[in-house]
Chains A and B, each alone.
Chain A
Amino acid sequence: MMPELGKYAVSVMSAYGVTVVLLVGIVAQSLWRAARVRRALEAQEQRTGAHNG
């Protein structure tokens, strides 16, 4: 299944590796911050009795 990459295997795999790490990183950071801010807003709205429509 794995394609034969020959003498460029390290270059191709490292390019894909860097890309996956950076993309997973930005997706994870976006979701983590989204969850953190949503929880904080819900707690604040409960405290103050405000609602976010």
Chain B
Amino acid sequence: MSIWEYANPKKFMQTSAWALPWFTGLAAITLVTGLVWGFFFTPEAANFGTTVKIIYIHVPSAMMAINIWVMMLVTSLIWLIRRHHVSALAAKAAAPVGLVMTLIALFTGAIWGQPMWGTWWEWDPRLTSFLILGLFYLGYIALWQAIDNPDTAADLTGVLCLVGSVFALLSRYAVNFWNQGLHQGASLSVDKQENVSDVYWYPLLFCIAGFILLFIVLVLVRTRTEVRSRRLKALEARERLA
């Protein structure tokens, strides 16, 4: 069986209908476990005090903000190269979720930064590139809304997605590129020495898994809606012509 079978809207609707309850259950369990564990059962940190509990929402949302754009890049490329409608609709469906993740990362970062850095905002490389990523999400959503022809909208938003990928990468690696600003390096790394302490690390892993699963649930629900909306418009157009 080929993965391209799922580009067929009917196959996608069947498979996603089967998968959605499982992903929803898993998302609820992992997210609640991670957040309850992190919020109620972790100690305060020597350097951050009790604000360390913000890590359980700030880090997963920031990771998702970047990775959702990468997912949109992949699905946009599939659309631009192979013209599979479901992949273009999946990118469209993911964008508002990505914007919400970016807003959460920016708000929680500002709220965390105020007591730690003494300021809500700083034109630091990572913060600034993240703000620009948020503006790219807004522009992407606005471009879909502004163009009536869905194929043209998918083409142009696909190109915008390619351009915005530069800022998604900058958001991730800005700290390494410029080595300046207030924001610290990554809290998570393949190198265990660079990670946060285990007592924060394990609940954080649950929260990250929960945010990933929540995204999968939302993108499946929203893509199914986009597939139905596309069919609805096609039927309405057929009725008008009849």
Chain A interface residues toward B at CB < 8 A = 1, 3-9, 11-12, 14-16, 18-19, 22-23, 25-27, 29-31, 33-34, 37-38, 40-41, 44-45, 47-48, 50, 52-53
What secondary structure prevails in chain B residues at the interface with A? helix
Binary flags per residue of B2-25, CB closer than 8 Å to A gives 1, else 0: 000000001001000000000000
What secondary structure prevails in chain A residues at the interface with B? helix
| Beta-carbon contact of A14 and B239 below 8 Å | no
| Beta-carbon contact of A22 and B104 below 8 Å | yes
Number of A-B contacts (CB under 8 A): 100
Other contacts beyond A3-B53, A12-B51: 19, CB < 8 A: A1-B40, A3-B40, A5-B53, A7-B49, A11-B51, A11-B54, A11-B115, A16-B39, A16-B54, A18-B111, A19-B107, A22-B104, A23-B214, A33-B225, A34-B225, A37-B228, A37-B229, A37-B232, A44-B232
| Beta-carbon contact of B103 and A22 below 8 Å | yes
| Whole-angstrom CA separation of A11 from B118 in the bound complex | 13
What chain B residues lie within 8 Å of A37 (beta carbons)?
225, 228-229, 232
